[in-house]
Structure 1
């Protein structure tokens, strides 16, 4: 019975380490995607996520 319990504890520890490793890889991938330079020009979206006003009509209050 003790051997079975020890085996279960070891298996649980191995599975825990594997899960942590997968989670760390997934988080690292998300971080790389979030911090990667963009191919799109900055004129379509501002750096704070809002859409900038058009340059031609920005000064007119008609």
Structure 2
């Protein structure tokens, strides 16, 4: 029973780390888009 609880806690922790990484990546993409120079119009 304790092993099952430990596995569940590790899986839950991994899930939250994954979600945080995805959120950080999305925020970085927004900053990159917002700060990229606009190409000159022809």
After superposition, the CA RMSD in angstroms is: 1.2
Larger radius of gyration: 1
What TM-score, normalized to structure 1? 0.59
1:10-57: CA deviation from partner (whole Å, max 9, x where unpaired): 00011111111111111000000011111256xxxxxxxxxxxxxxxx
The answer to which structure has the higher helix fraction is 2
What TM-score, normalized to structure 2? 0.83
Q: Is 1:10 the equivalent of 2:10?
A: yes
Q: How many residues align?
A: 41
Structure with the greater relative contact order (CA < 8 A, sep ≥ 6): 1 or 2? 1
Any gaps of 5 or more consecutive residues in structure 1? 42-62
Q: Which runs of 4+ in 1 moved over 3 A?
A: none
